Amino acid sequence: MPRTLDAEDARRLEKCLADGGVAVFPADTVYGLCCDPANERAVRRLYELKGRPAARPAAVMFFALAALLRALPELLPRERAALQALLPGPATLLLPNRDRRYPLACGPGGSGADSLGLRVPAWTPALAALAAVDMPVLQSSANFSGEPDARHLLDVPAPIRAGADLVLDGGELPGIPSTVIDLGKYEQCGEWRIVREGPLMRADLERLLAS
């Protein structure tokens, strides 16, 4: 049976992030690690916990689509429409980072990047309380870099659980990481490509973007 999270869990997560902590949390795909994307120390800790190469970018996740759209007013019309078609959902969307937002999401060095990965989970009823979290996070899967993703909390390696400041148990998850879609040229010509296969298949993306 899935464990239902509540408003207190959401409050604990917000406090952990605001205090510079790193949390293990359940999403709509797999268990993830998250932290404040503006806190360099927290980002370094997250990368160290999972052994992620410092130069490898991570996604910025919002807990609700409205918060993402408010935070990125520079999104162009076609990009905004694509986000509204695909999110919330099991997708990570790569978009141009024109204003160089969330520079630590491209690695703890904070050098900035031409593109930004964006996520908004489609929360199940059991996890819906997390939609109230009112800040973005830098997030990555809660596993050692290159190792299998975590479907259950106990699939998260023990050193990661022990090293995190907060661990939220959401029960069993689907276990398949998000589909990664490159929308870098979508505004100009409607072109997109799948970077990583996941729960959303090409046919799903074609249907959703056409709508």
List the chain residues with pLDDT less than 50: 108, 110-111
How far apart CA 93 and CA 177 sit, in angstroms, is: 13
Check residue 211 and give its pLDDT.
84
Q: Is 163 helix (H, G, I), strand (E, B) or coil?
A: helix
Check residue 2 and give its pLDDT.
56
How far apart CA 115 and CA 144 sit, in angstroms, is: 24
Please check whether residue 32 lies inside any domain of the structure.
Answer: yes
Tell me how many domains the chain contains: 1
Please check whether residue 189 lies inside any domain of the structure.
Answer: yes
The strands making up 137-141's β-sheet, listed across from edge to edge, are 166-167, 23-26, 31-35, 137-141, 59-61, 115-119, 91-96, 179-182, 193-196
Number of neighbouring beta carbons within 10 Å of residue 124: 18
Q: Which two tokens stand for residue 115?
A: 């593109």
How far apart CA 179 and CA 30 sit, in angstroms, is: 12
The angle that helices 77-86 and 202-210 make with each other, rounded to 10 degrees, is 120
- Gap between the terminal Cα atoms of the chain: 34
Do residues 184 and 115 make contact, with C-beta atoms less than 8 angstroms apart? yes
Check residue 161 and give its pLDDT.
98
Q: Which two tokens stand for residue 151?
A: 């479907």
Which residue's structure tokens are 């990368």?
Answer: 47
Please check whether residue 98 lies inside any domain of the structure.
Answer: yes
Domain encompassing residue 206: 7-210
What is the domain-level CATH number for residue 126?
3.90.870.10
The total number of residues written for the chain in this structure: 211
Phi, psi torsion values for 25, nearest 5 degrees: -145, 155
Do residues 175 and 64 make contact, with C-beta atoms less than 8 angstroms apart? no
Please check whether residue 2 lies inside any domain of the structure.
Answer: no
Please check whether residue 169 lies inside any domain of the structure.
Answer: yes
Mean of per-residue pLDDT scores for the chain = 94
Check residue 110 and give its pLDDT.
47
Please check whether residue 146 lies inside any domain of the structure.
Answer: yes
How far apart CA 84 and CA 190 sit, in angstroms, is: 15
Tell me 132's DSSP state.
G
Q: What is the pLDDT of residues 28-57, one digit of tens each?
A: 999 999 999 999 999 999 999 999 988 889
Please check whether residue 40 lies inside any domain of the structure.
Answer: yes
Please check whether residue 1 lies inside any domain of the structure.
Answer: no
Q: What is the pLDDT of residues 9-21, one digit of tens each?
A: 999 999 999 999 9
